Structure 1
Amino acid sequence: MNKDKRLVILERLRDNNPKPETELNWSTPFELLIAVLLSAQATDVSVNKATDKLYPVANTPQSILDLGVDGVKEYIKTIGLFNSKAENVIKTCRLLVELHNSEIPENREALEALPGVGRKTANVVLNTAFGWPTIAVDTHIYRVSNRTKFAMGKTVDDVEQKLLKVVPKEFKVDVHHWLILHGRYTCIARKPRCGSCMIEDLCEFKEKVYPES
């Protein structure tokens, strides 16, 4: 895909959604971090249902630490992998209290040192909470980037590096949200909704799917 076509795609996505936001519910960087940590292999809807009950009770590292592992599990037991996630939440909260004065570090290395926090989670927090031009690549973004030929790569890291290279500076902060929402609602996994896609004419996917007339 050439530079001009990518630019038009980004302009259309921006015009359609000038100020995109994550669909996870959060009001502080800490709440965002925990929500993203819980969202691995789970839907944002299921995470929001859990955190909407958890955060009014405990939404700081110390207050969640006070709940203990079993207490956290009670709130997140409807989310996949809740046992290991509860352990990671408690370990992360302990480190935030002990090492970071209960603040979320605006630092990639420090974030990735927290239990359960990998590069993708760190990217989301740096981007969404702090406005960094990072691009977190999840399954939706990986699929959309490869399927459209916008930024092809064999691994999520490959796609991330390609996106960082080809996306102009003015779009970098928001492109993560545009692509994830496009993958979640239009360029879906099994049967993409090409007939209602705003970039269908620019997409280089050869096996486009249209509703039967």
Structure 2
Amino acid sequence: MNREKRTEIFQRLRAANPEPTTELNYSGPFELLVAVLLSAQATDVGVNKATARLFPVANTPESILSLGEEGLKEHIKTIGLYNSKAANLIKTCRILLERHGGEVPRDRKALEALPGVGRKTANVILNTAFGEPTIAVDTHIFRVANRTRLAPGKTPRAVEDRLLRTTPAEFKKDAHHWLILHGRYVCKARKPDCYNCPIADLCEWPEKPV
């Protein structure tokens, strides 16, 4: 795929959604970190239901620690893997207080040192909370990048590296959200909605029906 086509793809996605953002409900970097930690193998809708119960009670490292692991589980038990997520979140809160003054660090290495935080989560925090031009490759982005041939790669990291290398600078900060939303609602896994896709004519998927 050439640069002109990539540029047109992002121009159309931007025209349809000028200010894209996450569908997780949050206020501030710490609430976002909690929501993203809880979102592994869970839907944003499910996470939002849990955090709607949790955040009014505890939305700082101190207040979550004061709940204790068992108390935290009571608030997030509707989410898959809640036992391990609760354990990781308690450890993360402790580290934030001990090493970062209770603040979420704006640093990839420090973020990835937090329990339960990998590269993808760190990219989400850096992008959504701090406006960094990072691209977190989840299953939606991985599928869209490969299917459209926008940035084909055999692994999420390969797709991320290619997207960072080939996405024009003016689109890089929002590319993450545009591609996730496109994969979630249009370029779906089992039945992509090619007939209502704003970039169907630019897509290089050989099986597209249009």
Pair in the same fold by TM > 0.5: yes
Following superposition of structure 1 onto structure 2, how do residues 115-130 of structure 1 map, counting pairs within 5 Å? 115-130=115-130
Q: 2:79 matched to which residue of 1? A: 79
| Superposition map of 1:49-198 within 5 A | 49-198=49-198
List alignment gaps of at least 5 residues for structure 1: none
For residues 73 and 208 of structure 2, what CA distance do their matches in structure 1 show?
43
Counterparts of 1:178 and 1:125, CA distance in 2 = 16
Secondary structure of 2:109's partner? helix
Q: CA deviation at 1:209?
A: 4.6
Contact 1:6 1:150 in 2 (8 A): yes
Q: What CA distance in whole angstroms lies between the structure 1 residues aligned with 2:130 and 2:207?
A: 38
Amino acid in structure 1 at the alignment position of 2:194: C
Question: Residue 51 of structure 1 aligns to a residue in which SS?
Answer: helix
Give the share of equivalent positions with the same residue, in percent.
70
Amino acid at match of 1:108: R
Alpha-carbon distance in structure 1 between the residues aligned to 2:124 and 2:67: 26
Residues 3-14 of structure 1 mapped to structure 2, 5 A cutoff: 3-14=3-14
User: Offset of 1:11 from its aligned partner?
Assistant: 0.3
Q: Using structure 1 for the length normalisation, give the TM-score.
A: 0.97
Deviation, 1:206, is 1.1
Q: Give the whole-Å Cα distance in 2 for the aligned partners of 1:76 and 1:163.
A: 34
Q: Which amino acid aligns with 1:61?
A: P
Instruction: Answer yes or no: is the 8 Å Cα contact 1:191–1:209 preserved in 2.
Output: no
Runs of 4+ in 1 over 6 A off after TM superposition: none
Contact 1:193 1:209 in 2 (8 A): no
The total of aligned residue pairs comes to 210
TM-score, reference length from structure 2: 0.99
Question: How much does 1:208 deviate?
Answer: 1.7
The AA in structure 1 aligned to 2:152 is M
Give the whole-Å Cα distance in 1 for the aligned partners of 2:187 and 2:70. 39
Amino acid at match of 1:58: A
Give the Å deviation of 1:207: 1.1
Q: Which residue of 2 aligns with 1:25?
A: 25
Whether 2:198 is the aligned partner of 1:208: answer no
CA distance in 2, matches of 1:194, 1:88: 40
**Residue 199 (1) aligns with residue 199 (2):** yes
Give 5+ residue unaligned stretches, structure 2: none
How far residue 92 of structure 1 moved from its aligned partner, in angstroms, is 0.3
